[in-house]
């Protein structure tokens, strides 16, 4: 009896550890029935638990879009909140299938870490937030300031570069996670809080008195944020990348979550190809032909996602029209190769 | 008869090798060795495969590469163009700084509270007991959070700094600002004098002890030593024209410029470590004093020793034998616990090296190995010192 | 005996007199304990002044000025006033989060059953007068972990909704880590301690190296290693649950400390016990199991419990590797905007401190009780 129970306990412990071979991520994901997605623990607008403790945000919705394409179910995804320190190990060890965590695409990460970036879901740049009563109006006046930074990010390096190139001095106050950084800034430990400007806008709202703080106009870096996958699994990389492109392509063609069912009857060959009415594109990436239809039906196109989480009508409130994040047809940088 | 015994032995060793304890022990050890080697090889092999799959190189070359980030509090010159090795050194020094100061303060506080707990005075003994029972049953990390996040909040902003000595010492939510002493060249003589007096004091102490053992006369070593440590360097100071110029902190646009800034992370970590460890040291001290036989106290009393002599000459020297081994492990604990600095942003080795440097360089294996080696070295070093001390104070059996 | 009587010899006893008023009762006690001499008197005065300075403000903060759910003004605005003390309504509001973490609210009953099961199996184990020790030991060490795992995780044959470990949190996870650490570290520690005292040199040095290595490094580096390096050590593609990794790290770390305590107990046994066991012809395992360990473990009980207490406190470190234990859930809410108030953080920390304190203090009292009870009076 005792021995049996021990065996049972061992089995239970092993049950917690799942094995996933690298070669065929899609097969593994399909076998276990859900997608494991690494997200930021708390970045409002990108990934954060909402009032009902459900994950919500732009990064989260990208994973839901992938789950929709694979399973026809946006809920077939589990989220692993990761600190910036853990994220790459989590991806390369196979703990997660896709990393969608406000991660900046840089050359060293693309080449040294054994990961591939599938695209840019948000063009960001690093900015500064200060208290209004300091009377600062430009980042060039920040010499001698104490700056709160999150450890292990490109932000930390950019700040060092910016201050040394402008010949200014600063005092770095570095914390492990974003929450602590914001808390320390709010408690007055630092004069300046620096991170990606989208996150600045979101975090400002979590301060005790948002109106007493302002974001400085300078953007000191390029931060193209996007999802990444392990190197060496081309099929999985293609799925990730084309789910991303489908979000943009459908927006360009005017397919939205609201009208996607009507669009099935469209005469536009482009629309018909995206929605799988025409052509054989889904099977080429190991999915069904209506993969993009499922994505748009369940999650929406890029604009739907953007406006839902970071757009002007959300608490984060980043206006899209005219920004780099707009479609190329409207002067932005969002551009997808055609699906054909 | 002799022959049959021999035969018996032969048959036994031939038939039942498995029951031979010597053989069994060797076989078991070989088995363990093989098991460990296989296990080790498996791990190394996995690591190499995994690193190759991730396209990562291994080796310690990265130590020479520019780190590219800044550290808020360093004891040596450091900026963004310094190397990862500099980060390593900065981390070790910061860890040692907080550990050494913490050990000194925790010892003082711990001995005070430990003795207070044994006090005849009811209130003092109760206060000490409450302190010990409250502090040691609450996680250190929680106490650090409290000191850093809850207490820091009550500190004033820079503009409303608390000023202690007009124009020189300020306290605000950025830390404590004190004047930075800049000694001139002649000050070197004062430093030489201090070192000389301390070395002299060492020999004086030996001489006094030998004289006491031979003649029974006691030499008032402590007051003489303290007086000479103060008086002799002071005379040299006056004669040599040495001067210390103080660099006062001055309020700039954001922060104070000049002076020495003691960051709140350091203060919070120090407070937390000292208060927590002192509770454990107090218990060690109490146990040590209680371990001294009451007969010793009575003997000292019947010799007519006064209270302070009884403690200094009879009780404490014997109690120290019991106190020192656990005391050392408390010192080691304090040093290891200083790694919790990572939670409140003090740049110790775990925070800057195993945290930031690991993340920016991606050299997980090397960085974690080096960090663990630092702690292992500290621990072994302390053990060696401990063993030497133990050998010296051990009871000489006659 | 002659019957002579002398006038100056008293022949009846005097009545007992009460001791002088200055040496009995309150005054006598005070004289002995508070004012016996001048230094003592000074210390008393210092102590009283200290109490007078600290007790009233603390009491005001915790009770008089604090905001309770039953206070007249029991909204967050009351916490934001200038003179408000501890904001207990914030703790009450977030209480479920502190206990269950992100566990779905409709599934709380599963956690509660586990708590209950733990209590039911633990109490007979700890209460020396209750029978069925073996049964409750099996319950606590075998049934409880298995049942807890299947109940909390759900899925599979249980027919319950699956709740992945990422959603476990709060006091639940603190207790899980502490219990697993305690259950796993004692046997591993005993094996290591026996190995360290083994006559086989290789076994001995392997055990020494293992113990000293773990004892030399801080737990936080062990946890980092478990969370960052462990995936590298295992074959490509094996992924281990975050919680399991922390459990392995905590258990091994604690086992090294346990080994040293058990070794102390083994060393304290007189040599005669080993020789007696050998003389009876018992083999190594039997002599350990029947003679040596029962006595050695009894000697080590205070040390073992002290280790349990440190282990319980150390569980708070898992927050640094991103698990939501009790401390981390509190820490995560101290910045929540809807409860923003001057003493939000302090109140949260006080609550967490009180929870930890109750468990740790309880354990230390229990250890003292067992020490007295097991004291058979055989002291050299």
Beta-bridge partners for B172? B175
Enumerate the residues of chain B whose CB falls inside 8 A of the CB of residue C52.
none
Residue A292, min C-alpha distance to chain C (Å): 29
pLDDT of residue A9: 41
**A146 contacts chain B (CB < 8 A):** yes
Residues B318 and B255 reside in one and the same domain: yes
Among residues B53, B74, B94, which one ends one of the domains? B53
pLDDT of residue A12: 42
Q: Does some domain include residue B162?
A: yes
CB atoms within 10 A of CB B239: 12
Domain that holds residue B320: 84-184+243-393
Q: Is the pLDDT of residue B9 over 70?
A: no
pLDDT of residue B14: 53
Q: Does some domain include residue B93?
A: yes
Mean pLDDT of the residues in chain A: 87
pLDDT of residue A35: 94
Q: Does some domain include residue B234?
A: no
Q: Is the pLDDT of residue A316 over 60?
A: yes
pLDDT tens digits, one per residue of B292-328: 888 888 898 899 888 778 888 888 888 888 888 889 8
Residues B15 and B135 reside in one and the same domain: no
pLDDT of residue C7: 75
pLDDT of residue C237: 63
- Give the mutation candidate from C249, C345, C365 for the B interface (greatest B CB count, under 10 A): C345
**What ipTM did this prediction achieve?**
0.88
Q: Reduce the DSSP state of residue B60 to 3 states and report it.
A: coil
Residue B29, min C-alpha distance to chain C (Å): 6
Helices (H), chain B: 2-15, 21-53, 84-117, 122-135, 140-145, 152-153, 187-215, 221-240, 264-291, 294-302, 307-309, 316-337, 341-344, 358-361, 364-393
Residues B179 and B277 reside in one and the same domain: yes
Residues B136 and B282 reside in one and the same domain: yes
Asked if the Cβ–Cβ distance from C320 to B119 is below 8 Å, we say no
Enumerate the residues of chain C whose CB falls inside 8 A of the CB of residue B117.
none
Structure tokens at C314: 């150390």
Strands A170-175 and A145-150: parallel
pLDDT of residue C4: 65
DSSP A47: B
pLDDT tens digits, one per residue of A84-106: 777 887 888 788 999 999 899 99
Q: Is the pLDDT of residue A338 over 90?
A: yes
Q: Give one DSSP letter per residue of C12-41, joined into a string.
A: SPPPPPPPPGGGSHHHHHHHHHT-SSHHHH
Tell me which of B253-267, B347-361, C128-142 is least confident: C128-142
**B47: confidence class by pLDDT, cuts 50, 70, 90:** confident
pLDDT of residue A81: 85
Q: Is the pLDDT of residue B378 over 70?
A: yes
Q: Which residue of A has its CA nearest to C232?
A: A93
Decide which of B297 and B103 is more confident: B103
pLDDT of residue B285: 92
- Give the mutation candidate from C196, C214, C313 for the B interface (greatest B CB count, under 10 A): C313
Q: Is the pLDDT of residue A6 over 50?
A: no
Rounded CA separation A322/A308 (Å): 18
Rounded CA separation C37/B54 (Å): 75
Residues B169 and B311 reside in one and the same domain: yes
For tokens 């708070």, name the residue: C316
What pTM value is reported for the model? 0.85
Decide which of B132 and A84 is more confident: B132
pLDDT of residue B324: 86
Residues B92 and B34 reside in one and the same domain: no
pLDDT tens digits, one per residue of C211-258: 999 999 999 999 988 887 887 888 866 667 888 989 999 999 999 999
pLDDT tens digits, one per residue of A8-49: 344 444 444 444 445 689 999 999 899 999 998 878 889 987
Q: Which residue of A has its CA nearest to B347?
A: A174
Decide which of B316 and C7 is more confident: B316
**C206 contacts chain B (CB < 8 A):** yes
CB A229 within 8 A of CB A236: yes
pLDDT of residue A14: 40
Among residues B14, B35, B53, which one ends one of the domains? B53
Strands A228-230 and B244-247: unpaired
pLDDT of residue A93: 77
Q: What is the mean pLDDT of residues A248-265?
A: 94
Rounded CA separation C63/A77 (Å): 46
Report percent pLDDT > 70 for chain C. Answer: 96
pLDDT tens digits, one per residue of A235-245: 999 999 999 99
Give the residue extent of every domain in chain C: 26-62, 169-328
Asked if the Cβ–Cβ distance from A159 to B54 is below 8 Å, we say no
**C240 contacts chain B (CB < 8 A):** no
pLDDT tens digits, one per residue of C37-72: 788 888 889 889 999 999 999 999 999 888 898 888
Count how many domains chain B has: 2
Q: Give one DSSP letter per residue of A289-327, joined into a string.
A: TTHHHHHHHHT--HHHHHHHHTSTTSSS----TTSTTSB
Decide which of B147 and C320 is more confident: B147
Q: Does some domain include residue B62?
A: no
Rounded CA separation A239/A224 (Å): 20
Whichever domain contains B292, its CATH number is: 1.10.3720.10
pLDDT of residue A18: 40
CB C178 within 8 A of CB C315: yes
Residues B247 and B105 reside in one and the same domain: yes
Please choose, from the candidates B272, B397, B394, B398, the residue with its C-alpha nearest in 3D space to the C-alpha of residue B325.
B394
Q: Which subunits count as partners of chain B given 3+ CB pairs below 8 Å?
A: A, C
Residues B35 and B143 reside in one and the same domain: no
pLDDT of residue B260: 85
Q: Does some domain include residue B231?
A: no
Asked if the Cβ–Cβ distance from C314 to B139 is below 8 Å, we say yes
Residues B158 and B255 reside in one and the same domain: yes
pLDDT of residue C208: 92
Please choose, from the candidates B327, B303, B326, the residue with its C-alpha nearest in 3D space to the C-alpha of residue B315.
B303
Q: Is the pLDDT of residue B330 over 60?
A: yes
Residues B9 and B96 reside in one and the same domain: no
Mean pLDDT of the residues in chain B: 86
pLDDT of residue C380: 42
**C214 contacts chain B (CB < 8 A):** no
Structure tokens at A85: 């320190």
Q: Compare CB distances from A175 to B264, B345, B360 and report the shortest one's residue.
A: B345
Report percent pLDDT > 90 for chain B. Answer: 33
- Mean pLDDT is highest, among B265-269, C13-17, C165-169, C196-200, for B265-269
Q: Give one DSSP letter per residue of C29-98, joined into a string.
A: HHHHHT-SSHHHHHHHHHHHHHHHHHHHHHHIIIIIT-B-TTSSS-SHHHHTSTT---BHHHHHHHHHHH
CB atoms within 10 A of CB A180: 22
Tell me which of B28-42, B200-214, B320-334, C2-16 is least confident: C2-16
Enumerate the residues of chain C whose CB falls inside 8 A of the CB of residue B53.
236
Q: Is the pLDDT of residue A178 over 60?
A: yes
- CA of B253: how far to CAs of A137, A146, B152, in Å? 13, 11, 21
Residue B237, min C-alpha distance to chain C (Å): 39
Phi, psi of A245, rounded to the nearest 5 degrees? -65, -35
Q: Is the pLDDT of residue B23 over 80?
A: yes
Q: Is the pLDDT of residue A4 over 50?
A: no
Q: Is the pLDDT of residue A250 over 90?
A: yes
DSSP A43: B
Tell me which of A219-223, B274-278, C376-380 is least confident: C376-380
Residue B55, min C-alpha distance to chain A (Å): 5
Decide which of B7 and B68 is more confident: B68
pLDDT of residue B224: 87
Q: Does some domain include residue B384?
A: yes
Q: Does some domain include residue B272?
A: yes
- CA of A34: how far to CAs of A68, A76, A231, A310, C149, in Å? 10, 5, 21, 26, 21
**B3: confidence class by pLDDT, cuts 50, 70, 90:** low
Instruction: Name residues whose C-beta falls within 8 Å of residue A125's C-beta, 6 or more positions apart in sequence.
Output: A196, A197, A219, A220, A221, A222, A223
Asked if the Cβ–Cβ distance from B254 to A144 is below 8 Å, we say yes
Architecture of domain C169-328: Orthogonal Bundle (1.10)
Enumerate the residues of chain C whose CB falls inside 8 A of the CB of residue A86.
227-228, 321-322
- Give the mutation candidate from C308, C332, C349 for the B interface (greatest B CB count, under 10 A): C349
Residues B150 and B27 reside in one and the same domain: no
pLDDT of residue B321: 83
Q: What angle do CA A322, A328, A329 make, to 5 degrees?
A: 85
Residues B285 and B383 reside in one and the same domain: yes
Q: Compare CB distances from A9 to C146, C240, C337 and report the shortest one's residue.
A: C146
């Amino acid at each position: 009896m005792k021995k049996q129970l021990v065996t049972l306990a061992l089995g239970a412990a092993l049950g917690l550890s799942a094995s996933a071979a690298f070669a065929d991520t899609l097969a593994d994901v399909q076998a276990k029935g859900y997608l494991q997605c690494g997200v930021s623990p708390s970045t409002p607008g990108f990934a954060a638990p909402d009032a009902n403790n459900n994950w919500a945000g732009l990064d989260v919705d990208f994973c839901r879009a992938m789950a929709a394409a694979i399973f026809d179910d946006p809920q077939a995804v589990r989220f692993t909140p990761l600190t910036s320190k853990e994220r790459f190990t989590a991806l390369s060890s196979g703990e997660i299938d896709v990393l969608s965590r406000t991660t900046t695409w840089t050359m060293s990460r693309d080449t040294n870490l054994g990961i591939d970036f599938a695209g840019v879901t948000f063009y960001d740049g690093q900015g500064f937030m200060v208290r209004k009563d300091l009377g600062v109006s430009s980042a060039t006046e920040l010499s001698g300031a104490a700056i709160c930074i999150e450890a292990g990010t490109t932000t930390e390096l950019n700040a060092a570069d910016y201050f040394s190139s402008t010949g200014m001095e600063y005092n770095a106050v570095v914390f492990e996670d974003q929450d602590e950084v914001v808390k320390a800034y709010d408690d007055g430990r630092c004069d300046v809080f620096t991170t990606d400007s989208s996150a600045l806008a979101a975090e400002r709202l979590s301060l005790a008195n948002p109106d007493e703080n302002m974001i400085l106009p300078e953007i000191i870096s390029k931060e193209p944020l996007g999802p990444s996958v392990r190197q060496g699994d081309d099929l999985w990389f293609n799925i990730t990348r084309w789910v991303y492109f489908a979000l943009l392509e459908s927006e360009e063609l005017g397919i939205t979550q609201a009208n996607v069912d009507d669009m099935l009857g469209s005469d536009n060959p482009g629309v018909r190809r995206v929605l799988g009415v025409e052509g054989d594109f889904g099977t080429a990436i190991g999915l069904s032909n209506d993969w993009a239809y499922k994505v748009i039906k369940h999650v929406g196109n890029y604009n739907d996602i953007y406006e839902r989480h970071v757009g002007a009508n959300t608490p984060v409130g980043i206006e899209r029209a005219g920004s780099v994040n707009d479609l190329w047809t409207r002067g932005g940088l969002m551009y997808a190769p055609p699906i054909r | 008869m002799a022959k049959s015994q021999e035969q018996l032995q032969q048959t036994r060793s031939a038939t039942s090798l498995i029951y031979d304890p010597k053989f069994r022990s060797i076989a078991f050890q070989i088995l363990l060795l093989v098991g460990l080697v296989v296990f080790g090889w498996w791990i190394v092999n996995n690591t190499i495969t995994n690193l190759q799959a991730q396209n990562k190189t291994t080796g310690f070359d990265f130590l020479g590469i520019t780190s590219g980030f800044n550290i808020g509090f360093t004891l040596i010159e450091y900026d963004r163009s310094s190397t990862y090795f500099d980060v390593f050194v900065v981390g070790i020094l910061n860890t040692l700084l907080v550990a050494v100061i913490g050990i000194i303060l925790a010892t003082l506080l711990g001995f005070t509270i430990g003795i207070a707990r044994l006090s005849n005075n009811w209130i003092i003994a109760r206060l000490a007991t409450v302190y010990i029972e409250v502090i040691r049953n609450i996680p250190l990390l929680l106490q650090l959070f409290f000191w850093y996040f809850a207490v820091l909040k009550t500190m004033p902003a820079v503009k409303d700094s608390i000023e202690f000595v007009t124009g020189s010492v300020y306290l605000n939510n950025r830390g404590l600002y004190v004047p930075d002493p800049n000694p001139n060249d002649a000050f070197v003589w004062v430093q030489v004098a201090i070192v000389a007096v301390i070395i002299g004091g060492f020999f004086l102490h030996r001489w006094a002890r030998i004289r006491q053992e031979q003649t029974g006369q006691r030499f008032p070593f402590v007051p003489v030593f303290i007086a000479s440590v103060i008086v002799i360097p002071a005379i040299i100071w006056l004669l040599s024209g040495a001067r210390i110029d103080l660099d006062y902190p001055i309020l700039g646009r954001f922060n104070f410029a000049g002076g020495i800034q003691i960051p709140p992370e350091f203060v919070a970590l120090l407070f937390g470590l000292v208060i927590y460890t002192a509770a454990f040291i107090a218990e060690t001290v109490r146990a040590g004093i209680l371990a001294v036989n009451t007969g010793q106290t009575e003997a000292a009393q019947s010799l007519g020793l006064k209270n302070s002599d009884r403690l200094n000459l009879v009780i404490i020297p014997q109690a120290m034998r019991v106190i020192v081994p656990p005391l050392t492990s408390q010192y080691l604990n304090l040093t290891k616990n200083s790694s919790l600095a990572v939670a409140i942003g003090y740049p110790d080795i775990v925070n800057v090296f195993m945290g930031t440097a690991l993340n920016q360089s991606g050299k997980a294996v090397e960085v974690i190995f080096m960090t663990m080696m630092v702690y292992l070295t500290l621990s072994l070093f302390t053990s060696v010192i401990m063993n030497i001390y133990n050998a010296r104070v051990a009871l000489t059996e006659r | 005996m002659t019957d002579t009587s002398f006038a100056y010899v008293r022949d009846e006893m005097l009545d007992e007199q009460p001791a002088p008023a200055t040496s009995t009762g309150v005054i006598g006690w005070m004289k002995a304990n508070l004012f016996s001499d001048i230094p003592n008197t000074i210390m008393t005065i210092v102590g009283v002044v200290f109490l007078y300075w600290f007790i009233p403000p603390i009491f005001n903060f915790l009770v008089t000025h604090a905001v309770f759910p039953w206070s007249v003004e029991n909204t967050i605005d009351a916490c934001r006033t200038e003179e408000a003390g501890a904001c207990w309504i914030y703790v009450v509001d977030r209480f479920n989060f502190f206990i269950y973490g992100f566990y779905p609210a409709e599934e709380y009953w599963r956690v509660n059953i586990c708590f209950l099961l733990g209590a039911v199996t633990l109490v007979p184990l700890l209460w020396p007068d209750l029978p069925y020790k073996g049964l409750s030991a099996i319950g606590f060490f075998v049934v409880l972990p298995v049942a807890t795992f299947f109940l909390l995780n759900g899925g599979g044959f249980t027919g319950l909704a699956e709740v992945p470990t990422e959603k476990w949190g709060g006091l639940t996870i603190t207790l899980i880590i502490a219990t697993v650490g305690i259950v796993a570290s004692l046997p591993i520690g005993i094996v290591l301690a026996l190995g360290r005292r083994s006559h086989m040199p290789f076994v001995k040095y392997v055990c020494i190296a293992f113990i000293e290595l773990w004892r030399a490094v801080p737990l936080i580096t062990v946890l980092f290693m478990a969370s960052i390096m462990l995936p590298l050590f295992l074959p490509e593609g094996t992924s281990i649950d975050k919680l399991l990794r922390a459990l392995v790290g905590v258990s091994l770390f604690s086992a090294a400390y346990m080994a040293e305590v058990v070794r102390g107990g083994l060393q304290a046994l007189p040599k005669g016990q080993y020789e007696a066991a050998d003389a009876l012809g018992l083999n190594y395992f039997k002599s350990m199991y029947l003679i040596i360990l029962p006595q050695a473990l009894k000697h080590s009980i205070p040390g073992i419990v002290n280790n349990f207490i440190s282990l319980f406190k150390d569980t708070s470190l898992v927050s640094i590797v991103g698990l939501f234990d009790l401390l981390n859930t509190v820490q995560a809410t101290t910045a929540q905007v809807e409860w923003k108030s001057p003493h939000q953080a302090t109140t949260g920390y006080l609550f967490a401190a009180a929870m930890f304190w109750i468990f740790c203090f309880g354990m230390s009292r229990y250890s003292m009780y067992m020490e007295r009870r097991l004291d058979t009076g055989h002291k050299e």
